[in-house]
Amino acid sequence: MIKDLYKDRMIFFINRIENHKLNWALTGSYRLFLEGGEGIIRPNDIDILTDKEGAKSIKELFEEYIAKPFGYSTSGGIKSYYGQLKIGEIDFDIMSEVFNEVDRDWIRIPNLECVEYLTLFNRRIPVLPLEIERKVSEILNRREKLDAINKIIEKKKTAENRVDGSANK
């Protein structure tokens, strides 16, 4: 099952980095899938945002899994230091120094100063907040992803209202 395959690869990644002091966050489709996006969005890879030192460490820790060499890249309105790992069947896109193009100017969104934590796989996993994911999707004009994020936010609000409503009874 695809859900288990991604989970297994993510746990493998976390196990390999957990004893290293890396500044990182899970972002993208798999991050959305894990926070209420099942049935709304299908992950196509695992995106990791990190800083330059984190990218260097990941490159060294996963040397045998490098599918695309690390280097500076510009694609689809995103400029970053980028490399790709292939762990089993799953691609891990590793990005640092990320800039997004807005009105012919490059702005630094997202960054690692605003991470939140989700408890997944019996671990605290750093993730980019949904609002940041939404802002980046708006900037890059990724309508399908933006629609999915809005549905996930609405689903979370509905669940919170149910909990609040039952607590007041």
- Residue 113 pLDDT exceeds 90: no
At 59, which amino acid appears?
A: K
Q: What is the average pLDDT score of the chain?
A: 90
The CA distance from 6 to 78, in Å, is: 25
The pLDDT, as a whole number, for residue 168 is 53
Q: Which residue has the tokens 């609000």?
A: 157
All domains in the chain, ordered by first residue: 2-162 (3.30.460.40)
- Residue 167 pLDDT exceeds 80: no
CA 59, 63, 65 angle in degrees (round to 5)? 105
Most confident of 51-60, 109-118, 157-166: 51-60
Specify the higher pLDDT residue, 164 or 76.
76
CB atoms within 10 A of CB 4: 8
The pLDDT, as a whole number, for residue 1 is 59
- Out of 65-69, 72-76, 104-108, which region has the weakest mean confidence (pLDDT)? 104-108
CA 91, 47, 54 angle in degrees (round to 5)? 105
